Amino acid sequence: MVILFQDEFSLSNTATLSAAWSAKGQQPKVDCKQVKKERVTGIGSVNPITGQLIVNFEQIGNYKTFKKHLKKVINQYKDKRKIIMYVDNVRFHHAKNLKGFLEANPILEIRYLPAYSPDLNPVERVWWYMRKSITHNRYLSSIKERIAKFWQLLSQTLKPNETLRKLCVINY
């Protein structure tokens, strides 16, 4: 059996501003020669025990792209007897169109986290780490560059790893 936590995130070529150190009285600047805004939706699942991540990039998040991600997850863990995936309550996670797919794939069980509780979802910490590392105060001219930075940072997480395993620990 494997337990996963899933969530979507938005990635764009726009720099996100964040706190930064600077000399007293000098405002830090982020070079942002924005020509056009580009955006993609990432759909990801993390195994908090191993730190392994599975990610798809799509133009939009909906039940079709979620289903595509579920197929990728099933393929990744086809040797397991059961995959339990915790998801939030975004509308398309409850789509009636997914019912037949889930019935045809009994290896996968979807469970829902309580509403408005991102603090219970370990993959949210993965997205925080990613944003801090590749989007905060960093300008890139295209979404292709941003996705390349994403994979540069997280390519080692496609296999079990300590970095994400430690990030996924919930200490209350």
The pLDDT tens digits of the residues spanning 52-64 come to 999 999 999 999 9
Average confidence score pLDDT of the chain = 90
In what side-by-side order are the strands of the sheet with 39-47? 52-58, 39-47, 2-12, 83-87, 108-112
Q: Is the pLDDT of residue 26 over 80?
A: no
Query: CB burial class (10 A; 0-12, 13-18, 19+) of residue 7?
Result: buried
Q: What is the pLDDT of residue 33?
A: 63
Q: Which residues pair with 16 in a beta bridge?
A: 136
Query: CB burial class (10 A; 0-12, 13-18, 19+) of residue 81?
Result: exposed
d(CA 150, CA 153): 5
39-50 pLDDT, tens digit per residue, is 899 999 999 999
Q: Sort strands 52-58 and 83-87 into parallel, antiparallel or unpaired.
A: unpaired
Q: What is the pLDDT of residue 30?
A: 64
Handedness of CA 71, 76, 80, 84 (dihedral sign): negative
Instruction: Identify the residue whose tokens are 């086809």.
Output: 78
8-25 pLDDT, tens digit per residue, is 999 887 766 667 677 888
Q: Is the pTM of this model over 0.85?
A: yes
Print burial letters for 134-168: b (CB count within 10 Å at least 16), e (below 16): bbeebebeebeebbebbeeebeebeeeeeebbebb
Q: CB neighbours of 54 closer than 8 A, spacing ≥ 6?
A: 4, 44, 45, 46, 69, 72, 73, 76, 158
Q: Set out the domains of the chain in order of their start, with CATH numbers.
A: 2-11+39-167 (3.30.420.10)
Give, for 69, the enclosing helix (H) or strand (E).
helix 63-76
d(CA 58, CA 55): 10
Packing angle of the helix pair 123-134, 143-154 (nearest 10 deg): 120
Q: Is the pLDDT of residue 117 over 90?
A: yes
